[in-house]
Amino acid sequence: MEESFWQKLIGSFNPNFLGKVATQELGRSFKYLIFLLFLVSIILSLKFTISFFIAMKNFAKSLPILLEKLKDFPEVTIQEGKILSPKEKFIKSWEGFILIIDPAGEVNEYLGILGKYPGGIIVIQNRIMTKSEKGKIEIHDVSGIPYFNLKFNQEKGRLFTLNFAGKTFQPTLKEINHWVNIFSLIFLPLSLLFLFFILLVSKLFQIFLLSPLSLIINKIKKLGLKYQNLLNIGIFALTPSLILETFIKLIGISIPYFGFLYYMLYAIFLITGILKTSTTLA
């Protein structure tokens, strides 16, 4: 009687089991790998979707607070890269972030100022200068923008009015929450497909990457195993490393040199599984 998926998963931690799967059909091993990767993709995509949903919900909740901080924010109008409004320089900073709009500003003038803050946005003629939390300063050319208009207002519950590329947006907090829910639902299947594809490609690459090691062990010990037998062992020997990798991603910790640990663990199970074939095939 063939083992269930869960029996195979648990058995992958046992070198004796790895030695036994060497002689099975390669297709059965790949079916196990596909199911395992799909299961891992579901788990990780659920985690990432929940994190995305919480982050978006927190952003939606913080919008009223952010808008309160921007209540004195002037109307901004940019046409073909030229700042039409405000006419005068506008500066506002809070909690390590600076925002400057200067119709007459120059890039060199504000590089030093932007460098003093953890984050910031500076709008000058034809340029928008940004600094992320990682400390990277980027300069974007906006001369190609035909028309842009932004003004904050809370008339009839509207958070702001944005006119860009001929389209006008006047969202409410309720509408933003609605779109957050929709994006979260879309995010789950998209992240699932993306993760599964990435995992499938990367794990197949890892299996074939360590296959020369399998061939070397097979030749040194004179086991007489075929390449198909070695691939069977390689697929199941990958399970402990994959489970450990998934667990670390779920709890969100960072382990120095984890890549080295990952391949060492994989190599140990791979080698011990191959060596056990000398007893299981006897």
Hey, where are the domains in the chain? 5-52+183-280, 72-171
As a whole number of angstroms, the distance between CA 27 and CA 85 comes to 66
DSSP string covering 200-262: HHHHHHHHHHSHHHHHHHHHHTT----HHHHHHHHHHHTHHHHHHHHHHHHHT---TTHHHHH
| 8 Å CB contact between 87 and 80 | no
CA distances 213 to 206, 208, 210, Å, are: 12, 10, 5
pLDDT grade for 102, boundaries at 50, 70 and 90: confident
Within 13 Å and on the Cβ side, how many CA atoms surround 23? 13
pTM of the entire predicted model: 0.69
Q: What are phi and psi of 231, to 5 degrees?
A: -65, -40
Distance of CA 282 to the CA centre of its chain: 47
Mean pLDDT (the chain) is 85
Measure CA of the first residue to CA of the last residue in the chain; give whole Å: 21
Average pLDDT over residues 62-70: 71
As a whole number of angstroms, the distance between CA 126 and CA 94 comes to 25
| 8 Å CB contact between 40 and 242 | yes
Name residue, tokens 């931690």. Answer: 13
pLDDT at residue 282 is higher than 50: no
> Can you give the pLDDT at residue 157?
67
As a whole number of angstroms, the distance between CA 203 and CA 239 comes to 10
As a whole number of angstroms, the distance between CA 201 and CA 230 comes to 19
Average pLDDT over residues 63-82: 76
> Can you give the pLDDT at residue 156?
66
For 114, residues 6+ apart whose C-beta sits below 8 A from its C-beta are: 98, 120, 122, 129, 131, 137
As a whole number of angstroms, the distance between CA 97 and CA 104 comes to 21
pLDDT grade for 133, boundaries at 50, 70 and 90: low
